[in-house]
Structure 1
Amino acid sequence: MDALDVAILALRLALVLLLYLFLAVVVRLAARGLNASAPASAPVAAQRTAELQLLVEDPASSALPAGGVIGVPDGATLGRAERAGLVLADPTVSAEHARIRRQGRRWTVADLGSTNGTLINDRRVDREAPLADGDILALGNVRLRVVAT
């Protein structure tokens, strides 16, 4: 064996050692990530404070998925316009139809002068009105059920 063969063998061994070292670090980090656990209720509680959860009962001709759950953040506008926080591309929905807000521990909806109105459980919303679990929110022909407040 000449000096070149010895050098190549040493480089191969060093490469194998580096590969094993890398794998050991990856396994250690993965194990540490699996052991770090948060309480199961923490993500749900954080989500409830950040967004109102709405179940799509009847999407009408909008692109919303029937049966899907959509999170609506505080202050979001619901409407047909592209700039709306929740776009409801249905001809019976106004460009800026309604606004969802969080006030303390409760969520409210306000109609923004829409043509077809905003209804909660088939009652027209004239001013800002509170939302509760199970309420049906109707914007034009689109029907959304409040599932988490």
Structure 2
Amino acid sequence: SAPPPAPRDSGPIPRRDVAPRRLVVTTGPLRGTTVPLGGSAVLIGRAPSCTLVLDDDYSSSRHARIYPEGGRWYVEDLGSTNGTYVGRERINGPTPITVGSQVKVGQSTLELQR
């Protein structure tokens, strides 16, 4: 007998479906917190004006920002005391990140997810 027809959606995944849709706190005081990603920057730090407010003595008031530009996402340290890390590397300047990237801010680890 003939094999069943392939599902219609088995073709290549369109680029937009690979884009991260949320930022999830995977370790730290806010573990489990999810921030939806749209077309605007996410400001991370202790200040009440931040998008993601960290209750963390190791993070600065305006610690880092994650933002979209030209179809990609970047993380940038905003002159924090303890630095921002992607994986184990301390970043200097805007750094591209993708789905699965681990961003460390203070005691918290953030991950871009679909």
Using structure 1 for the length normalisation, give the TM-score.
0.58
Greater share of helix? 1
What is residue 35 of structure 2 aligned with on the other side?
70
- Residues 72, 85 of structure 1: 8 Å contact kept: no
Distance 1:120 1:72, change over 3 A: same
Deviation beyond 3 Å, 4+ runs, structure 1 = none
Once residues 75 and 87 of structure 2 are traced to their aligned partners in structure 1, the CA distance between those partners, rounded to angstroms, is: 13
Alignment partner of 1:100 is 2:69: no
Count of aligned residue pairs for this structure pair: 97
State the SS of the aligned residue for 2:47: coil
2:96 matches 1:127? no
Aligned to 1:40: none
**Which string of whole-angstrom CA distances, capped at 9 and with x for unpartnered residues, describes residues 12-71 of structure 1?**
xxxxxxxxxxxxxxxxxxxxxxxxxxxxxxxxx7xx6xx851222102x3xx2x334322
Do residues 57 (structure 1) and 26 (structure 2) align?
A: yes
- For residues 94 and 122 of structure 1, what CA distance do their matches in structure 2 show? 19
Higher relative contact order, chain-length normalized (CA < 8 Å, sep 6+): 2
Unaligned residue ranges in structure 2 (runs of 5+):
1-15
Superposed CA RMSD in Å reads 2.0
Percent identity over the alignment is 34
Instruction: Report the structure number with the largest CA radius of gyration.
Output: 1
TM-score in terms of structure 2 length: 0.75
* 1:110 counterpart residue number: 76
Q: Which one has the bigger strand percentage?
A: 2
Shift, 1:100, TM fit: 1.4
Deviation at 1:138, TM superposition (A): 0.2
Does the CA-based 8 Å contact 1:76-1:86 persist in structure 2? Answer: yes
Measured after TM superposition, the shift of residue 75 of structure 1 is 2.1
**SS at 1:134 equivalent:** coil
Contact 1:52 1:107 in 2 (8 A): no
